[in-house]
Amino acid sequence: MAVVEQPCYTLINFPTDLEPCNEMQLKLDLEKGDTKKKIEALKKTIGIILSGEKIPGLLMIIIRFVLPLQDHMIKKLLLIFWEIVPKTSPDGKLLQEMILVCDAYRKDLQHPNEFIRGSTLRFLCKLKEPELLEPLMPAIRACLEHRHSYVRRNAVLAIFTIYRNFEFLIPDAPELVANFLETEQDMSCKRNASLMLLHADQERALTYLSSRLDNVHSFGDILQLVIVELIYKVCHTNPSERSRFIRTVYGLLALPDREPHLLEDVDKEREPKRQEQKVEIETGITFSQLAGAGASGSQHDMFELALNKALQGRSGGEAIDRGKLCRVRQLTGCSDPVYAEAIVSVNQYDIVLDVLLVNQTDDTLQNCCVELATLGELRLVERAAEVVLAPRDFASLRAHVKVASTENGVIFGNVVYEVTGASMDRGVVVLNDIHIDIVDFIQPAHCSDADFRQMWAEFEWENKVSVNTNMTDLHEYLQHLLASTNMKCLTPEKALSGQCGFMAANLYARSIFGEDALANLSIERPLHKPGAPVLGHVRIRAKTQGMALSLGDKINMMQKASHQKPADPTPAA
């Protein structure tokens, strides 16, 4: 027999860039973390269950270390957790651990705080397991006598729901609620009780209404609505009763309006707006289809360009034509059966690959997909779907890669496909590697001289890069280095001015992950050799080895002269 999937009562929105949860870390936070960590871990656990995953290993951890806590936020989250967590085994039997949870329900129903009692009663309305509700019935009955109306009206609501779903648990519910209605004074509690009798025992509801027919006009609005619904049902079932209740209905219609004249006030506010004259604004409209080629405003949306640069973490005065076409990477050769190219877009912590596949054969390619893998601190979070390519057809796929730290990474893979009607194995086309640039994840930043020196002394890894370039001007090399590494020069411009044959400058940048990168530039130009290239070195210090290596590789790669491989980073003295 197929197991029916339990309905989802609560929908909670989680950010799409939320890091995947580790079950061992959740166990550690739930068991040994403070209250704040337990709240965050409980929220992540709820998100995992709502996404369809099952984590039975956390159930006993939550019962032992989270359930006894008295924090109100934790109790709210626990009500959501117990609502959605599976409470039965695959064979339909109640889990043994739920006996402990049932005892916690009973204690909350006897809690001195009326909010905890009332919210627990509302939660019990959503339970579908009679084995859990049966031991709680005495405590639910006792809540009808609580001093606070919030608890009493939720107790009536819980009794109504339980009686409707499991009548055998409380067969005397109509009589119990009818006796409660006789002595209750709060209008909201009376409304819930009358609503239950309306649906569960219409005769008792009619008896109560008949005994108070002359006092209906003194009832609250919410209770009067239930009475009107009761009169409608009675008269619809038994038309002979109309004459009995016509006077009551007429009295309700003749009652003076107790509420402010809201609709009249709204009409008064809208009237001046109706009388306002609409004036067309005389402004010129630029049609991009009709504008000439010289109209620069029609070629690019400057606001859109600025927004895209901000989202991609880029800064500086880059050219306007640096669009998607400038980021196209060819992944396969033109003679391969499947031609592939990709547009690499960096958006904060995510790298989006828009892959174009072109079938260059006369066969239909089935189950064509791009299988990607990563090197470095990269993680593939969304794989591209499989497609079917007709002869000479093309398709676009998208894959998402999440970046975990500021290091150079590599994305590699292949295109796999099957030829329709062929008995051969699947065809594979190896893709060219995609190297992720570290500059996409670091931004210029500023810090004081004292902070720079303190970080320089504390950071463990250093990478010394020798200057090997054909540039002859010191300032020109410095500006080229700043543009290539996306770093900021902390040395004042006044200290760098003049022509003395040597230059020393401190550079600083910070990654989007909060990692700091330091650099010290020491270069010189021999005065006795006119036209000689700049000599010197760049010392890079970072907290992690990958950051120091990646930044050094970037400097070497961008130098105009021949490439010189940097030495391995060694711990700084």
CATH number at residue 418: 2.60.40.1480
Residues 452 and 562 in one domain: yes
Q: What confidence tier does 309 reach under pLDDT thresholds 50, 70, 90? A: low
Give the pairing type, strands 535-542 and 516-524: antiparallel
Q: Does 272 map to a domain? A: no
Residue 317, token pair as written in the block: 């005065």
Residues 455 and 429 in one domain: no
Taking Cα atoms as reference points, which of 529, 497, 514, 517 lies closest to residue 506?
517
Residues 430 and 451 in one domain: no
Q: Which amino acid is at 328?
A: V
CA torsion 166-167-168-170 (nearest 10°) is 110
**DSSP type of residue 353:** E
Does position 528 have pLDDT exceeding 60, yes or no?
A: yes
Average pLDDT (190-201) is 86
Residue 414 CA to residue 372 CA, distance in Å, equals 7
Q: Does 566 map to a domain? A: yes
Residue 403, token pair as written in the block: 């970046």
Contact yes or no for 358/429 (Cβ under 8 A): no
Residues 458 and 565 in one domain: yes
CA torsion 359-365-366-372 (nearest 10°) is -50
User: Among residues 402, 436, 470, which one ends one of the domains?
Assistant: 436
Of 169-183, 254-268, 340-354, highest mean pLDDT:
169-183
Residues 431 and 506 in one domain: no
Does position 532 have pLDDT exceeding 70, yes or no?
A: yes
Residue 201 CA to residue 192 CA, distance in Å, equals 13
pLDDT at 159: 92
Give the total number of structural domains in the chain: 3
Q: What confidence tier does 296 reach under pLDDT thresholds 50, 70, 90? A: very low
Q: Does 206 map to a domain? A: yes
Q: What domain range is 237 assigned to?
A: 181-254
pLDDT at 320: 40
Contact yes or no for 385/361 (Cβ under 8 A): no
Partners of 375 in the β-ladder:
410
User: Among residues 386, 415, 436, which one ends one of the domains?
Assistant: 436
**DSSP type of residue 9:** -
Contact yes or no for 320/305 (Cβ under 8 A): yes
CA torsion 140-144-149-154 (nearest 10°) is 40
Give 457's Cβ-side CA count (13 Å radius): 5
pLDDT at 565: 45
Residue whose pair of structure tokens reads 């009500």 in the numeric block: 79
Of 188-202, 210-224, 235-249, 409-423, highest mean pLDDT:
188-202
Does position 571 have pLDDT exceeding 70, yes or no?
A: no
Q: What confidence tier does 275 reach under pLDDT thresholds 50, 70, 90? A: low
Residues 471 and 523 in one domain: yes
**DSSP type of residue 376:** S
Contact yes or no for 112/67 (Cβ under 8 A): no
Order across the sheet with 328-330: list the strands.
Answer: 328-330, 338-347, 350-359, 394-403, 378-382
Residues 6+ apart with CB under 8 A from 23: 55, 57, 58
CA torsion 72-73-75-78 (nearest 10°) is 180
Residue whose pair of structure tokens reads 């730290």 in the numeric block: 405
User: Among residues 254, 285, 301, which one ends one of the domains?
Assistant: 254
Of residues 376 and 264, more confidence is placed in: 376
Q: What is the CATH number of the domain that holds 515?
A: 3.30.310.10
Residue 550 CA to residue 556 CA, distance in Å, equals 10
pLDDT at 157: 92
Residue 239 CA to residue 241 CA, distance in Å, equals 5
For all residues of the chain together, what is the average pLDDT?
Answer: 79
Residue 449 CA to residue 456 CA, distance in Å, equals 10
Contact yes or no for 461/543 (Cβ under 8 A): yes
Residue 147 CA to residue 137 CA, distance in Å, equals 19
Residue 215 CA to residue 188 CA, distance in Å, equals 17
Residues 511 and 396 in one domain: no
Contact yes or no for 516/537 (Cβ under 8 A): no
Q: Does 109 map to a domain? A: no
For the ranges 188-192, 299-303, 498-502, 539-543, the lowest mean pLDDT is seen at: 299-303
Does position 155 have pLDDT exceeding 90, yes or no?
A: yes
Q: Does 338 map to a domain? A: yes
Residues 451 and 548 in one domain: yes
Other Cβ atoms within 10 Å of 435 Cβ, number: 17
Residue 412 CA to residue 332 CA, distance in Å, equals 12
Residue 134 CA to residue 119 CA, distance in Å, equals 19
Does position 334 have pLDDT exceeding 70, yes or no?
A: yes
Q: Does 232 map to a domain? A: yes
Consecutive H or E run containing 346: strand 338-347
Q: Does 412 map to a domain? A: yes
Residue 360 CA to residue 202 CA, distance in Å, equals 75
Taking Cα atoms as reference points, which of 149, 197, 139 lies closest to residue 173?
197
Distances (CA, A) of 64 to 42, 58, 104: 14, 10, 11
Q: What's the angle, vertex CA 544, arms to CA 538 and CA 549, rounded to 5?
A: 45
Q: What's the angle, vertex CA 119, arms to CA 114 and CA 122, rounded to 5?
A: 130
Residues 402 and 457 in one domain: no
pLDDT at 1: 37
Q: What confidence tier does 161 reach under pLDDT thresholds 50, 70, 90? A: very high
Q: Does 172 map to a domain? A: no
Residues 486 and 563 in one domain: yes
Residues 423 and 495 in one domain: no
Residues 403 and 497 in one domain: no
Residue whose pair of structure tokens reads 């927004």 in the numeric block: 307
